[in-house]
Amino acid sequence: MLLLKNCFILDKGALKKASIIISGETIKDIIFGEVNGDFETIDVGGLTVFPGFIDPHVHFDDPGFTDREDFETGSKSAIAGGYTTVIDMPCTSIPPVINKENFDYKLNIVQKKAFCDFAFWGGVTPPQLKSGEYVNSIKELEKRGVVGFKFYTISGMKDYPRMEVEELDMAFRVVKETNLICAVHSEDFRLVNFYSKFLEDSKRKDPLAWCEGRAYEAEPMAIWEVVGITRNVGNKLHIVHLTTKAGLEIIKWGKLKGIDITAETCPHYLSFTVEDLLRIGPVLKTAPPVRNEEDRCALWEGLRDGSIDFVATDHAAGKYPEEKSHKSIWDNYAGIPGIQLAFSVICTYGFHENRITLQNMQDILSENASMRFGLMRKGKIEKGYDADFSIVDLNKSFEVSPLDLYSKGRYTPFEGRILKGKVIKTILRGKVVYEEERGFTGKPTGRYISH
């Protein structure tokens, strides 16, 4: 038995001093006050203890794109950022996770490298819809424990193309039978294609052209389409990396109408706008792009009032510097390795700047994602849950340096910023796996978890 003493944990919205008793990998008891007994003890020294954070949207690129990231470097970034569970996307590994063979292949490769626990998203492609194979492959992947299926209304990936509205409709119907989630990258293909081509043809190469090309209205248009399909079909829908106030309005409407819809946004959309992209350049290039101040404020408001359910990082590392320093914005990789700094960003600009409460922060970083994706033992400090903890100093400030990142992509748009709130220790299923001072304390012990 292990005792964590001198912890501060949230109880009904307020921090209270507590002791946490751990038996093996599981939380056995939480006691508000001192505990006596024969325990191996870790004195947390009055720091704040959160349930290990959960990132439901990462691209760890393994196998297939491991020159950008792999499961070892990605999951180390997660653990160093206080994240004990991630859900990896199906499309940025080769082959994509679209059937049980590909699933088994990927699991076999990544489970030896994982420092954090992990779940998988499954996928469906248009050729599988044409052949009719998708009906079985979705059910096979459901049996393997995927949390849901990822769809793109626009895609730059050769092996994982976009889907037409009628294809989404077909796939959602089958996913509905599994009761799993349909997650959608929502940007209208026609609009983005039209404007991007027009700007490229006009020889525009500046960062602003990226934002103009990925037209603002493309997001609400695509969200409207998939919400419409969902209203008709009755599946569970999740909108990934929401960026616009207009898109948020539709999600609010959908929730009011009783449609089963959730949404996530990312630290970069909460921290940066188009002006920052002009200043920072390709390092801040993402898809969708950063938007306007009005949107940034609306996203915080959405997190506060619950219309946005949680924060995900969309962690996606490009090769640095070669994929992130081309003169033409079009030639640069779209993505940021964000997981290691996500908590500190949310703590700094959310909690310390009074946009969200401490309870909000815990909910959007841990519990809400575990509930939505059915990760039954994750996301809460409660009896019977996995003993996953992120132990943080809410008031410790540090200057962001890309050299401190465990990701292969050692770049960040937060470079040079002073963030307030730092992960001091991470505990995965009862074992300390990371300490700020000492780094990683052992071999990878992450485990696959099913929905």
Binding site for Zn ion (CB under 5 A): 314
- Tell the smallest beta-carbon distance from residue 88 to Zn ion (Å): 10
Nearer to Zn ion, 73 or 92 (CB): 92
- Tell the smallest beta-carbon distance from residue 123 to Zn ion (Å): 12
- The residues near 391 (Cβ < 8 Å, ≥ 6 apart) are 7, 44, 47, 48, 49, 50, 82, 423, 424, 425, 426, 427
Nearer to Zn ion, 271 or 313 (CB): 313
d(CA 401, CA 267): 17
Cβ–Cβ under 8 Å, residues 53 and 364? no
Nearer to Zn ion, 134 or 151 (CB): 151
Residue closest to Zn ion when measured from CB atoms: 314
Nearer to Zn ion, 19 or 186 (CB): 186
Omega prior to 288 cis, within 30 of 0: yes
- Tell the smallest beta-carbon distance from residue 269 to Zn ion (Å): 13
- Tell the smallest beta-carbon distance from residue 335 to Zn ion (Å): 8
- The residues near 54 (Cβ < 8 Å, ≥ 6 apart) are 83, 84, 85, 86, 87, 310, 365, 366, 369, 370, 375, 378, 379
- Tell the smallest beta-carbon distance from residue 219 to Zn ion (Å): 14
DSSP label of 19: E
Nearer to Zn ion, 314 or 367 (CB): 314
- Going by C-alpha positions, the residue among 365, 343, 207 that lies closest to residue 280 is 207
Nearer to Zn ion, 295 or 314 (CB): 314
- Tell the smallest beta-carbon distance from residue 252 to Zn ion (Å): 23
Nearer to Zn ion, 51 or 56 (CB): 56
d(CA 134, CA 339): 32
**CB-side neighbour CA atoms (13 Å) of 5:** 13
- Tell the smallest beta-carbon distance from residue 56 to Zn ion (Å): 10
Omega prior to 126 cis, within 30 of 0: no
Cβ–Cβ under 8 Å, residues 53 and 81? yes
- Going by C-alpha positions, the residue among 231, 400, 241, 234 that lies closest to residue 334 is 241
